Amino acid sequence: MTDRPIRPRRFLPARLRRLPAWSLVVAGTAAGGLLGGAYGVLQTPVYTATSYVVAVPGKKSDPAAALGFAQAYGRVATQLAVLGDAQRQARVPVRTMRRSVRTATSPDAPMVAVSATSTRPKLAAAMADAVSDALTRHAEATAGSTHVALVRFARAVRPTDPSSASPTVTGLVGASAGGLLGGLALLVRPRRGEPGEPAPTASVPGPAPAADVRGLR
């Protein structure tokens, strides 16, 4: 019984092995685009509403101080003291408001933007207004020492369009990511030899020359 050499198993069909190298990039782009588009269709739309308050200096306050207090109130707006007061008006748990409410300030204007996100447009507007009202009340309680008051500039408008990414955007992002992964797979895959090119053979080192020891006797 003769021993046969063990050949490595090939898991890919012959037709797949004959595909051009750039097919990996095309396949990755197509798969990523389909997955991204499906995610955009299946995800729950998210809506964002924003209300604005402005810091107004008092008679004994420097107008530049209002800008500094606006920055400070923007950081305080997402703290538990303000959110705990706002939850009674919005009728949502504090943990929901902490996860959904964000603030932004401007270095040039003493204004604070309070944004809230939710899957329900009405709730997003209610949370933004509740935090703005609570922040205004906290500023009013300390206006005697800070000489700066917060005044509502604009109420939150119930959003009509979702702020989450559309299926087109998620599809483009998925296609870009899939194409990138396909390109990386193309770079790291083993190089295939040309048809008819002989396989490289391992070189066996020859015997080392024997040392002439006759002169050493």
Per residue in 157-167, is it b (16+ CB within 10 Å) or e — as a string?
eebeebebbee
Q: What is the pLDDT of residues 49-68, one digit of tens each?
A: 999 999 988 777 777 788 88
Strand partners, 154: 52
**CB-count exposure of residue 172 (10 Å: 0-12, 13-18, 19+):** middle
Residue 194 inside a domain? The answer is no
Read off φ and ψ for residue 160, nearest 5 degrees: -110, -25
CATH number for the domain that contains residue 128: 3.30.70.1130
Residue 189 located in a structural domain: no
In this prediction the pTM is 0.61
Domain range for 121 = 47-154
1-50 pLDDT tens trace? 455 555 555 545 555 456 566 666 676 677 776 776 666 666 678 899 99
- Residue 37 inside a domain? The answer is no
In a domain, 83, yes or no: yes
In terms of C-beta distances under 8 Å and separation of at least 24 residues, what long-range contacts does 76-82 make, across chains too?
Answer: 76/135, 76/138, 77/101, 77/103, 77/112, 77/114, 77/131, 77/135, 78/102, 78/103, 81/138, 82/131, 82/134, 82/135, 82/138
Is residue 176 a part of any domain in this protein? no
Please report, rounded to a whole number, the percentage of residues in the chain having pLDDT higher than 70: 59
How many Cβ atoms from other residues are within 10 Å of residue 88's Cβ?
Answer: 10
In a domain, 196, yes or no: no
Does some domain include residue 200? no
- For 103, how many CA atoms within 13 A lie in the half-sphere containing its CB? 25
Which of 98, 100, 101, 110 shows the shortest CA–CA distance to 53? 110
What pLDDT does residue 125 have? Answer: 92
Between CA 175 and CA 178, with CA 177 as vertex, the angle to 5 degrees is 65
Q: Are 177 and 25 in contact (CB under 8 A)?
A: no
Per the structure, the count of domains in the chain is: 1
pLDDT digits (tens, 9 = 90+) for 123-149: 999 999 999 999 999 888 888 788 888
Residue 213: the pLDDT is: 47
Q: Is residue 66 part of a domain?
A: yes
CB 159 within 8 A of CB 121: yes
